[in-house]
């Protein structure tokens, strides 16, 4: 059985090559993103292994099915980029990696908070140039601050426990409150109240029609002036142009992003020799109180091993007629 991995990077090759490969399977690593112009590369491959920025819309799925593909094995937990209705109609099974390392993403969110608060990025650049002044580097104690957590699944819960260790007051918004977090002291409130009361807001919810642009001009206006926003979940949770106005007006005091609504054409590639064509991203990068990382929150050795292991286990289970982590429309 031939398995093609689209959007594969050197770290994918390393993690999948050291994982236990099912008997009779062959891996083909393809650096290109999956789309209408590259779907032909999967011809004859029974399994297509896709990542978060691959195109799994109906036209692409139709081309994959025509080429003999029967299984879409996602190397991610999120699946908002997959047309599940089209997959079902075409007889394509879709499986995902529901969890790999919630700690990796939660810890990256905390890293963004600490770097923004203590101006680590600015201090690093200064000292490398021989500037050892402290002007403009004043931060604040995290202890005692109120942190709002939007979404308390595995990642949000891991983030909550870390922030509790800093001595923060924790508020949360989620349609399904977590009893263990409530025992930890987390208070669940309506979204508007969380935005109004918290100095730090961290997004950990999935992207659905109901959460698209959850953070927009109106919700930003509900936040405390000078508050911090962190997004390590999905780019489209945030109406990105609205962030620019909020930053210019001082309504938003700090912004940490590991995801971006229009990241598909940019992230995971070296664009350093090219002029940046995305005007909104270019504008965000001019603010000294903004840190953007290129969807690297998941990137730990433990997470990569777990992604490879679970993906191959999903393929093995499907081939045996006992699919696991199966998605349905």
List active site positions.
Answer: 234, 263, 295
Q: Report the sign of the C-alpha dihedral through residues 244, 253, 270, 100, in that order.
A: negative
Q: Give the closest residue to 283 by CA, choosing from 317, 253, 250, 240.
A: 240
Cβ 105 vs Cβ 232: under 8 Å: yes
Non-local (6+) Cβ contacts of 23 within 8 A are none
Which residue's structure tokens are 């608060």?
117
How far, in whole angstroms, is CA 174 from its chain's centroid?
A: 18
CA-to-CA distance for 148 and 96, rounded, in angstroms? Answer: 28
Cβ 94 vs Cβ 273: under 8 Å: no
The CA-to-CA distance between both ends of the chain, in Å, stands at 26
Give bridge partners of residue 27 from the DSSP assignment. 3
CA-to-CA distance for 200 and 45, rounded, in angstroms? Answer: 46
Cβ 7 vs Cβ 266: under 8 Å: no
Cβ 315 vs Cβ 93: under 8 Å: no
């Amino acid at each position: 059985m031939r398995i093609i991995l689209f959007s594969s990077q050197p770290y994918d090759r390393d993690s999948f090559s050291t994982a236990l490969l099912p008997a009779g399977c062959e891996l083909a690593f393809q650096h290109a993103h999956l789309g209408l112009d590259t779907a032909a590369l999967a011809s004859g491959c029974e399994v297509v292994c896709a990542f978060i920025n691959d195109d799994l819309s109906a036209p692409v799925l139709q081309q994959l099915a025509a080429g003999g593909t029967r299984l879409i094995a996602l190397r991610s937990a999120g699946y908002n980029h997959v047309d599940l209705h089209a997959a079902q109609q075409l007889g394509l099974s879709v499986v995902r990696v529901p969890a790999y390392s919630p700690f990796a993403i939660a810890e990256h969110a905390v890293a963004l908070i600490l770097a923004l608060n203590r101006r680590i990025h600015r201090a690093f650049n200064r000292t490398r140039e021989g500037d050892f002044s402290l002007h403009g580097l004043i931060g604040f104690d995290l202890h005692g601050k109120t942190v709002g957590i939007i979404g308390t699944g595995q990642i949000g819960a891991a983030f909550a426990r870390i922030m509790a260790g800093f001595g923060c007051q924790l508020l949360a918004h989620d349609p399904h409150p977590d009893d263990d977090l409530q025992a930890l002291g987390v208070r669940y409130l309506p979204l508007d109240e969380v935005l109004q009361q918290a100095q730090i807001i961290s997004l950990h919810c999935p992207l659905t029609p109901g959460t698209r642009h959850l953070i927009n001009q109106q919700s930003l206006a509900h936040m405390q002036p000078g508050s911090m926003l962190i997004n390590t979940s999905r780019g489209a949770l945030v109406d990105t142009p609205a962030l620019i106005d909020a930053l210019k007006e001082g309504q938003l005091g700090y912004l940490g992003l590991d995801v971006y609504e229009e990241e598909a054409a940019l992230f995971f590639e070296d664009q350093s020799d090219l002029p940046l064509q995305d005007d909104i991203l270019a504008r965000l990068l001019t603010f000294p109180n903004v840190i953007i990382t290129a969807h690297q929150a998941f990137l730990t050795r433990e997470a990569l091993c777990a992604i490879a292991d679970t993906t191959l286990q999903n393929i093995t289970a499907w081939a045996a007629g006992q699919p696991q982590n199966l998605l349905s429309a």
